[in-house]
Structure 1
Amino acid sequence: MSRPTDAHALRTAFLDFFAERGHERVASSPLVPFNDPTLLFVNAGMVQFKDVFTGRDKRDYRRATTAQRCLRAGGKHNDLDNVGFTPRHHTLFEMLGNFSFGDYFKRDAINWAWEFLTEVLGFPADKLVVSVFNGEGDDAPFDQEAYDLWAELVPKERIYAFDAKENFWQMGDTGPCGPCSEIHIFRGDGPAPATGGQPGKGPAYEDDAYMELWNLVFMQYEKHEGGRMEKLPAPSVDTGAGLERLAAILEGASSNYGTTLLAPLVERGKQLAGVSGDQGEREASFRVIADHARATAFLIADGVTPEKSGRSYVLRRIMRRAIRHGTLVGLDEPFFHEICDLVVDQFGDAYPELREARAAIADAVQIEEQAFRRTLDRGLKMVEATLAELPAGAQAFPVDPAAKLYDTYGFPIDLTRVIAVEHGLTLDEDEVAARVRELQGAGDGAFVGGDAKINDVYFELANELGATQFLGYAEVEQRATLQAIIRDGQRVDAAGEGDAVELIFDRTPFYGESGGQIGDHGTIDNSGSGPAEVRLEVSDSQKPTGGLIVHHAKLASGRIKVGDQLSLRVDVTRRDAIRRNHSATHLLHHALREQLGKHVAQKGSLVAPDRLRFDFSHPRPLTREERVAIERQVNEMVMANAATGTEEMSLANAKQAGAIGLFGEKYSDEVRVVTIGTSSVELCGGTHVARAGDIGLFKIVSEGGVAQGVRRLEAVTGTGALDWVQHTASIVEQAAAELHARDPDDLLVRLSKLQEELKLKERELAQVERKLATGGAGSSEVIEVEGVKLLVRKIGAADPKVMRDAADTLRDRLGSGVVVLAAERDGKASLLVAVTSDLAGKKVHAGKLVGALAGHIDGRGGGRPDLAQAGGPKLAGLDQAVADAATQLAAQLSK
């Protein structure tokens, strides 16, 4: 294998090296962890294999190699504040790894790492040092095996033994764990010092002299409660080598930002700023921009959008930090989308999802930058004003202005802290957050949103009864045993006619609301054991906790008791409508990803009998052409009439099959995969049609935004779609008849003609109003108030533009003075004050005068010194306002 020439070739060389040694080449997982809500982002190469190491997940291979994109910018692993100011800190980075799941162990892991570094990359062997675990008692002793293996490759004087902080890895307080060996490179001149075994020497103590390149974790123990260690029956290997660090050594760069991974992004920022070469203190800003552009592009490609909470807020912080650093180096116009676009070019070969999401990345970045620049301009002015007012010797930025910045302008608290630090000040972010809660009327620890409190009785029943057996995939009617009755929140043994109850059976065909699909309706009776004396109407079915399915029902007749055998019947017509909409939701999801890009990720859904609703990540409204294309693709899949398949499989196999799930959701080890033909493959527990053709017609009825970067589509299917089409056609027919149009195309022509006629009439009316408003303004209408001319006129009905035009005309006629106009518009009162330039702001302020008069119409208003308007609901007050104008003007002139 030839020596790679740059960072991108290095990535390929690593994967090829281990693939040649029997490793499955596994694609990088998205940055949002699949099936692991405990992590904000994937922060290490082994995250996608976590369940494999613990034995909960089985794979078809026992060796794997990856180039995994990772992100550390929030939660426990947060390097954000250091990024750009050190040579090696990043938000996003790539971790190269090779893994053994009970296959090879220490010898192969050590030999291959050494071979790759010294023979493939050509790193000088005499500059490399290694470390091993020095032991912690009998449970986890000194790693003699690793030491002896390294001694075959490296002089003992360059082997160091360190404690658990440096050389022992564990996933948590309990679980798989083991010693690790690290490979470091000496960064000084000449060979690495031969100081192995000497206390206080080596990479654990001399950070500036060494740089870690590779970490080999040997998972050979399981740690139990209390700290007891047991050997694993199948020891495993988890290794990680940072691509950025390896590239810096390979390319002879003094910093990761000088490698082919990041240098082009740094240079692009400088080109846009019109500078070149080392920028001294400003160099850090260009590094921040480069790093954050890479993180931004990958996050958006993985379905994250800049919003106000969670992962989305981390993205927003990253983007806004980069944009602010852009303003520090003179990038005063939107620029960040151009750097992100270069990320797509640079990394798109290794990560094709970037190319697929190029348009979405550009849209999301431009929208966020435009919004933040407005926030930044307002916020920075307030920050500067606060800094200017601080007394000499102040050490902290005050809490109240920081809280107001966030509450009023959306100015990030952490950005205020960064600016404060730049001025030698501190800021207590926790105290600011507490003050924000006060301003917003929330108490300490207040949480907006979240699930409603689940009745404690459900927890008891879940522990006692276990999950309800769901039969509804295949059946819509079934006999079952009544296990529990809840009335008014309490368990009871029996219930009678008229009671509203919640019922739990050992099994049921009723679907309990979950996964966006609402619960079934239907009936329950005792018809299986003779005449139906008992009848209940089921109005809802819920799944509150522990797999329980709770039937909300009302006893129409008879009496029931725990232990009864009853017949449960789902409303089939309603269920079929829900099935159509649920399957259509899957096809819609697939079409959205095909038409808009793989960045599209589900953000929520509702599947009801009358409609479906689907929320998804996308940075901008859909064009009419996109809506048509999406709708057409769904209907083409419906007409293809592919069969729906369902299969229970392991989560790992489902992911390998390309199944789409909700990121952040916690799935069980065995999942249900629903496929419709060969296109749509999703993890889903809902009910579906037998064939796509059962959906019938699919029609999108609305599209809009629900949050920044999140769009919502609503659609109808089957007879619901037919009803919508027929209703719309009826409206079109009625409109055509009213306008005497021959057909819908002629209707559009006639509407266009009517609009032109209406605009002409409006212009003519405005001219008439203007003449009426300005006509006859003779000297008799003008009075003097303390030497200032005042013209007051009630002009009837007029829109704001007519009033402004009239005021301009009358003000010009006065030459010097004040004009007060009163008018009615759409049942509301309007006032306008205009002041000539020689008086405005000197003797008379239009905004203050109109504000004084606005009380007569129960309104308020304001404006510039020369022109101001007010509006209010009280029409009867217009005459009082006109009569009071002279008095209020006199009061202002006397001040």
Structure 2
Amino acid sequence: MKNMGLNEIREAFLNFFESKEHLRLKSFSLVPENDNSLLLINAGMAPMKAYFTGIKVPPKRRVTTCQKCIRTGDIENVGKTSRHATFFEMLGNFSFGDYFKNEVIPWAWEFITEVLEIPKDKLYVTIYLDDDEAYEIWTNKTDIDPSRIFRLGKEDNFWEIGQGPCGPSSEIHFDKGAGKVETVEEFVEAADEDKIVEFWNLVFTQYNKDENGNYNRLEHPNIDTGMGLERIATIMQEVDNIFEVDTMKSILDEVCRIACVKYVENDNNNTSIRIITDHIRSMTFMISDGILPSNEGRGYVLRRLLRRAARHGRLLGIKDVFLYKLCDKVIENFCGAYPELKEKEDYIKKVIKLEEERFAETIDSGIEILKSYIGEIKQKGKKILDGDKVFKLYDTYGFPYELTQEILQDEGMDIDEDGFNTEMQKQRERARSARKDTNYMGAEDSAVNKISSDIETKFDGYDKYELCGKVKVLIENDKFVNSIEKEGIILTDVTPFYAEMGGQVGDKGLIYNDNFKGEIFDCKKNVSGKVMHFVKVISGTVSLEDKVVLKVNEENRKNICKNHTATHMLQEVLREVLGEHVHQSGSYVDAHRLRFDFTHFSSLTEEEISKIEKSINKEIMKSYEVKTDEMTIEEAKKTGAMALFNNKYKEKVRVVSVGDFSKELCGGTHVNNSGEIGLFKIVSESGVAAGIRRIEAVTGMAVIEYMEAKDKVLKDMSNVLKCSTKDIVERLESQIVELKEKEKELTALKGKLAGSAKDDILKNVKEVKGIKVAVGVLKDVDANALRDLADEIKSKIEEGTVVLGSNNGGKVQFVAMATKNVISKGIHCGKIIKEVAKIAGGGGGGRPDMAQAGGKLPEKLQEAINKSFDIIDELVK
């Protein structure tokens, strides 16, 4: 058996299947495309579901990949066991209706025994109970000892998820120390004890399970195999667990170095070391695929992993932020297979460092909140913290459950675990309901996604606005029809209409013939890339096979082109002004505006915005020729063209160049010359997520319209202020000074009114059970003045309670204060104010010695204040 490194095994596998005429595809992004059923890619076949269902045509019928995967279902076990991980790589070879069992079984045996050179007496195979075909192939087309083949039931060797494609499987296992097993019972027992481990699963998708539970044979069966790269690496390197595999060990050693600890068997630090080692891989790959920390979806998964790793760093005694430093080891070990890690190295490290610094602040504020909860528990004489409070700390403030438990245990307290689990379950249900319902293969089961693969629409609209075509498909109310009279979807054999893609909206225009006229109000592609024209019928009826004229709205298209080319120029300028860390995170281009999301870690200053605008306008005026060249993706990279290189591109790509200024991969439509853009103006800059900024801008005539609107506002202001536009700022500043002076006078007058009210309130102090009670209703006194007045009255009465209310411009305010010496007698201002405010349609609360509240019913103010006496009477012991 060869001793092979993880990267060596990956390459050997992919090379082997390339020799079997498979197309090697790069790993798909961890972010699923057109698949609402998944948060993150969690299996090798997951990104290729559409190929298996026939919704999309695969680039080749034989494919091999090594797919990045994230699974967090067992996150609590990561670090505690030797085999659980959140990030892993899945090796796979796939057949989309090409070869089947006769080919894949001998190939699998050839790879493991001849390429990997695993001893045959260390291998076992399992097949589905009734799969005689697989048994015959294993025994006749390989030299495996038949006694090493075991038949297992549906639970172990049959793959299905509800209705749809399914089939038996055959798993290949490695003997880690069980010795020769003779019976199925012995095999299962050894597998349960991890003495025999499965490392490659060959799935034979040969049936379609219908709604009645019948298994119907597929005309074109598929092959889907999966071999965990880390798991096979443990076998090849003869180590006990995935954390001892060469690439993982390299990261683990760096964790130990930073923490100044040793990785020793049965050591208490092991769990923390393993958690950090695993999680840093997940973080690095997730961020490289465009995921950023947030409070929902996949961003929440990333944030959870990062904070969990940071928390375990603290347990190891690491006081400073450190996770971003570990990225170097991840990138060093994996950049050969995933070059995007190296390309985005600075950006990945910045995101991790920023989030870890925020978490360090969160930890401190979380501890303060937890201390206040502990104080409340002690006051009530309890020893259990409510589960909803623990969940709030965890979910809202990102405070780890384990840390809450640890701090409580130091105080001789514990967590209401059932209550916490209830809240966690509610959150899972919210997350589940937020995910759209789809079938298990992830695509909406609608007519647009059932269009025959034989239907193709040729797009010929880069330099054409009008073409004649033939109607090939008509859809109305999600059904295929022969004609449309009102509204529906039309597919033709050729079109000049650009379908929404790459951030650019679809074209608008007309479709017509002598008997029919319709408005195309949108143009999109379905999951398999079919061009769909969304049409409202203006007159007549359109039928299948009709010849039609398709005419794009030329002015609308040209405005889109201006905004799209300007977006390319904007990205180039942003990198010049802000730095090379700027990468496109998203974009939107229509006829009216452009929107560009990009990676950056602070808001742009006025100076930066001005510099960006001036630079773009300067380049626009140079009237660059905008040209498009077709080339391979590798040729495009060599030219320095910018692209979202984790995206999947066809063999030939379009490279759009704006002179020598900008060069990008792009399938969209553009101007012929940068001078056609005219002008460029940023209308807003904002943050949309941590580390993501958004610029919205306009071009051409829209800039003039924008400036005219601004000019009108200035003219209207000058008319109101009765000054010229150049004097507006000066006039406003002088009026602000005047207003501040008037406010001071008003405050002084209110103070005098409150002062005279103070004397009246003190004259009318009453006693309730030996406690002085001062109440009063005031007018036009704000919350601050009301609180100051209550404080003054409290100091005068020496032993008692003050309850005041005010109607300040229709807004009701309450305040209650008590001297320290009456609190022991039962006085609690929070309880008083809560009941008082309730009468006036409000609510509030506070401490025993001071509380505030608001109300909505000024007409109930006097009644509410008068109720104070009854409330105090009930409270006093």
Secondary structure at the counterpart of residue 259 of structure 1:
helix
SS at match of 1:613: strand
DSSP 3-state at the match of 2:324: helix
72, 76, 81: which one pairs with 1:81? 76
- Give the corresponding residue for 2:290: 303
- Residue 462 of structure 2 aligns with which residue? 473
Distance in 1 (alpha carbons) for counterparts of 2:858 and 2:675: 61
**Cα drift, residue 84 of structure 1:** 0.5
Equivalent of residue 572 in structure 1, options 549, 554, 557 = 554
Once the two structures are superposed, what CA deviation does each residue of 1:121-165 show, in whole Å capped at 9, x if it has no partner?
xxxx9xx974365887565656689977x9xxxxx9xx9777799
Structure 1 counterpart of 2:352, from 361, 364, 367: 361
- Cα deviations across residues 846-877 of structure 1 (Å, max 9, x unaligned)? 23333343356433332222222222344444
Counterpart for residue 607 of structure 1? 589
What SS does structure 1 have at the residue aligned with 2:595?
strand
Q: Distance in 1 between matches of 2:148 and 2:472?
A: 65
1:839 match: secondary structure: helix
Listed as ranges, the matches of 1:587-736 within 5 Å are 587-588=569-570, 595=578, 602=585, 605-614=587-596, 638=620, 660=643, 673=654, 675-677=656-658, 679=662, 681-682=664-665, 684=667, 686-706=668-688, 712-728=694-710, 731=713
Q: How many residues are paired up?
A: 814
Distance in 2 of aligned mates of 1:656 and 1:621: 33
Task: List aligned pairs for 1:204-603, cutoff 5 A.
Answer: 205=190, 240=229, 245=234, 255=244, 259-266=249-256, 268=258, 280-281=267-268, 283-307=270-294, 310-322=297-309, 329=315, 338-349=321-332, 350=335, 351-352=341-342, 353-367=344-358, 405=391, 471-478=460-467, 501=487, 504=490, 506=492, 509-511=496-498, 516-522=503-509, 538=519, 540-543=521-524, 547-555=531-539, 562=543, 569-588=551-570, 595=578, 602=585
Partner Cα distance (1:653, 1:205) in 2: 53
Determine the C-alpha separation between the residues in 2 that align with 1:651 and 1:51. 23
Q: Residues 299 and 519 (structure 1 numbering): CA distance in 2 closer, same or farther, change over 3 Å?
A: closer
Cα distance, 1:26–1:574 mapped onto 2, change above 3 Å: closer
For the 8 Å contact 1:472–1:510, the answer to whether it is kept is yes
TM-score (norm. length: structure 1): 0.67
Shift of 1:718: 2.1
Which amino acid letter does the alignment assign opposite residue 358 of structure 1? K
CA contact (8 A) 1:468 1:548 kept: no
Aligned equivalent of 1:122: none
Q: CA deviation at 1:811?
A: 2.0
SS of 1:57's equivalent in the other structure is coil
- The residue identity in structure 2 corresponding to 1:339 is F
Whether the 8 Å CA contact 2:803–2:816 is kept in 1: the answer is: yes
| 2:338 corresponds to | none
The 3-state SS of whatever aligns with 1:87 is coil
1:73 partner amino acid: R
The answer on 1:871 being equivalent to 2:854 is yes
What value does the CA root-mean-square deviation take over the aligned residues?
6.9
Query: Residues of 2 paired with 1:30 and 1:831: CA distance?
Result: 57
Contact 1:35–1:663 (CA under 8 A) maintained in structure 2: no
Amino acid corresponding to residue 57 of structure 1 in structure 2: P
Give the letter for the 2:817 counterpart: A
Work out the CA distance in 2 between the residues paired with 1:461 and 1:31.
26
Compared CA separation, residues 843 and 547, structure 1 to 2 (3 A): same
User: How far 1:73 sits from its partner (Å)?
Assistant: 1.6
**Residue 820 (structure 2) pairs with residue 837 (structure 1):** yes
Residue 805 to residue 459, structure 1, CA distance change in 2 (3 Å) = same
Deviation at 1:549, TM superposition (A): 0.9
Give the drift of 1:475: 2.7
* Contact 1:811 1:834 survives alignment (8 Å): yes
Query: Which amino acid in the other structure matches residue 346 of structure 1?
Result: K
Over residues 448-486 of structure 1, what are the superposed CA-to-partner deviations in whole Å (9 max), with x where a residue is unaligned? 7679xx999965995699566655433333456678999
Contact 1:511 1:541 in 2 (8 A): no
Cα distance per residue 1:211-245 (max 9 Å; x no partner): 98997x999x9968789999999999999466974
The partner residue of 2:85 within 81, 90, 93 is: 90
CA 248–668 in structure 1, closer or farther in 2 if over 3 Å, else same: closer
Query: TM-score, with normalisation over the residues of structure 2?
Result: 0.68
Question: Which residues in structure 2 correspond to 1:716-865 (within 5 Å)?
Answer: 716-728=698-710, 731=713, 766=747, 769-774=750-755, 777-778=758-759, 781-786=763-768, 787-825=770-808, 827-840=810-823, 842-855=825-838, 857-865=840-848
CA distance in structure 2 between the partners assigned to 1:146 and 1:459 by the alignment:
43
Offset of residue 834 of structure 1:
2.2
Contact in 2 for aligned 1:92/1:295 (Cα 8 Å): yes
Which residue of structure 1 lines up, in the alignment, with residue 211 of structure 2? none
Are residues 28 and 413 of structure 1, via their aligned partners in 2, closer, same or farther at CA, if it must alter by over 3 Å? same
Instruction: Report how far residue 34 of structure 1 moved.
Output: 7.0
Following the alignment from structure 1 to structure 2, what is the Cα–Cα distance between the partners of residues 673 and 200? 59
Aligned partner letter, 2:680: F
Distance 1:297 1:543, change over 3 A: closer
Measured in 2, the distance between the counterparts of 1:233 and 1:319 equals 38
Following the alignment from structure 1 to structure 2, what is the Cα–Cα distance between the partners of residues 682 and 403?
A: 50
Aligned mates of 1:831, 1:641 — CA distance in 2? 67
> 2:59 corresponds to which residue?
57
Quote how far apart the aligned CAs of 1:359 are.
Answer: 1.4
Q: 1:168-201: per-residue Cα shift (whole Å, max 9, x none)? A: 99999989999897777x68xxxxx986999999
Q: Once the 2 structures are TM-superposed, how far is the Cα of residue 107 of structure 1 from its aligned partner?
A: 11
* Shift in Å, 1:85: 0.9
Cα separation, partners in 2 of 1:668 and 1:505, compared to 1, 3 Å = same
Range moving further from structure 2, 284-293 or 195-204: 195-204
Identity %: 26
After superposition, the C-alpha distances for 1:721-778 in whole angstroms (9 at most, x for unaligned) are 333345446656877999999998x987997887778667756754554454235733
Taking a change above 3 Å as real, the CA distance of residues 689 and 229 of structure 1, as seen in their structure-2 partners, is same
Distance 1:376 1:511, change over 3 A: farther
Structure 2 residue matching 1:548: 3-state secondary structure: strand
For 1:427 and 1:477, the matched residues in 2 are separated by 66
2-side partners of 1:747 and 1:295: how far apart?
55
Once the 2 structures are TM-superposed, how far is the Cα of residue 87 of structure 1 from its aligned partner? 2.9
Amino acid at match of 1:869: Q
The separation in 2 between residues aligned to 1:551 and 1:180, in whole angstroms, is 51
CA 1:522–1:468 in 2, change beyond 3 Å: closer, same or farther? same
Structure 1 gap segments, 5+ residues each: 118-124, 151-155, 188-192, 390-396
Asked if the contact 1:183/1:213 (under 8 Å) is kept, the reply is yes
